[in-house]
Copies of this chain bind each other. A is one copy, B any other.
């Protein structure tokens, strides 16, 4: 194979926001597949807040990325060479293929996707781990019931935008918390959220009191920090808080801890962490339902696509922490 593979590797574990010195750019020839292997030409790379956690040392819900290794990333692409019995040239696939142009793989954790059912980037978002996270987080961990009032932070983000829509589909009231008037207008006017709160210009606790006079039955947290603390002041009896992420905290030197956690006692509420991987044996069931909603137009999927090369990965990742994306952030390789 004559192609050169451009890659982004983890050079250094950052403290705070990743910088240029966090990354190393490498190139190497694409190796031809051995028996049982195939090569994917990557077209779209998923950009996720969780990536920041994978850069840290020490144990978490998944092993850290090794120093010097290609940065971990979900990606979709097309098989261009195969010595694998189940994957053929021309197949479109999803997997943790990394921030690079070509991936040589034995197929572990790689699944085929159908580009005629949905555009490829949708398999990184609503039909990928993003959608599954929203689905299991809200329905299983959050134990959503018809008539519930749900609030979600990061509501214009990849997971949050799906959470609010599933809440509506299931007969609940959805309140989104997002940064800026444009995002708020989008979730309210295009996605159908019942209310939107702009945390940049509104007092979130006060706004929640107005939009959820009987309190929150479910609060789905993607951001942590002060917004989590505000939500804690507005819980209904027996509320379920889903801790999906804490994008506001991943680069913080000191975590803003939830000072109002004793509201859990007062309201007999729970706060539960989730990792979507635990639901792997139910992905098929959830994906089918998400695809059906998408097909029926009840669920709107939006990808925020940055076109470029793998060298644009570091800057694209920072967009997440600046809250610049609307919907699922994807790097499309040009």
A residues at B contact (CB < 8 Å): 59-61, 224, 243-246, 249, 254-255, 257-275, 278
Do the beta carbons of A273 and B269 come within 8 Å of each other? yes
Task: Enumerate chain B residues within 8 angstroms of A269, measured Cβ to Cβ.
Answer: 272-273
The 10 closest A-B pairs by CB, nearest first: A257-B257, A265-B273, A264-B273, A270-B272, A257-B259, A271-B271, A255-B259, A243-B265, A61-B266, A60-B266
Do the beta carbons of A275 and B271 come within 8 Å of each other? no
Task: Enumerate chain B residues within 8 angstroms of A255, measured Cβ to Cβ.
Answer: 259-262
Measured CA separation A274–B249 after assembly (Å): 28
- With both beta carbons as reference points, the residue of chain B lying nearest to A259 in the complex is identified as B257
Do the beta carbons of B266 and A271 come within 8 Å of each other? no
**Binding site of A, secondary structure by majority: helix, strand, loop or mixed?**
loop
Name the contact of A272 in the complex, choosing from B249, B259, B262, B264 (C-beta under 8 A).
Answer: B264
Do the beta carbons of A224 and B61 come within 8 Å of each other? no
Min CB distance A221 to B, Å, is 10
Most buried by B among A243, A273, A278: A273
Most buried by B among A59, A267, A268, A275: A268
Task: Enumerate chain B residues within 8 angstroms of A262, measured Cβ to Cβ.
Answer: 224, 243, 246, 249, 255, 273
Do the beta carbons of B264 and A243 come within 8 Å of each other? yes
Do the beta carbons of A268 and B278 come within 8 Å of each other? yes
Task: Enumerate chain B residues within 8 angstroms of A257, measured Cβ to Cβ.
Answer: 257-261
Do the beta carbons of A245 and B273 come within 8 Å of each other? no
Task: Supply 20 further A-B pairs (C-beta < 8 A) apart from A263-B273, A268-B275.
Answer: A60-B266, A61-B265, A224-B262, A243-B262, A243-B264, A254-B259, A255-B259, A255-B262, A264-B271, A264-B273, A265-B274, A266-B273, A266-B275, A267-B273, A268-B273, A268-B274, A269-B272, A269-B273, A270-B271, A271-B271
Most buried by B among A59, A259, A261, A265: A265
Name the contact of A270 in the complex, choosing from B244, B267, B273, B278 (C-beta under 8 A).
Answer: B273
- With both beta carbons as reference points, the residue of chain B lying nearest to A255 in the complex is identified as B259
Min CB distance A44 to B, Å, is 26
Most buried by B among A61, A257, A259: A257
Measured CA separation A224–B258 after assembly (Å): 12
Do the beta carbons of B270 and A275 come within 8 Å of each other? no
Measured CA separation A271–B265 after assembly (Å): 10
- A265/B249 contact (C-beta < 8 A), A255-B259, A258-B258 known: no
Min CB distance A192 to B, Å, is 28
- With both beta carbons as reference points, the residue of chain B lying nearest to A269 in the complex is identified as B273
- With both beta carbons as reference points, the residue of chain B lying nearest to A250 in the complex is identified as B262
- With both beta carbons as reference points, the residue of chain B lying nearest to A271 in the complex is identified as B271
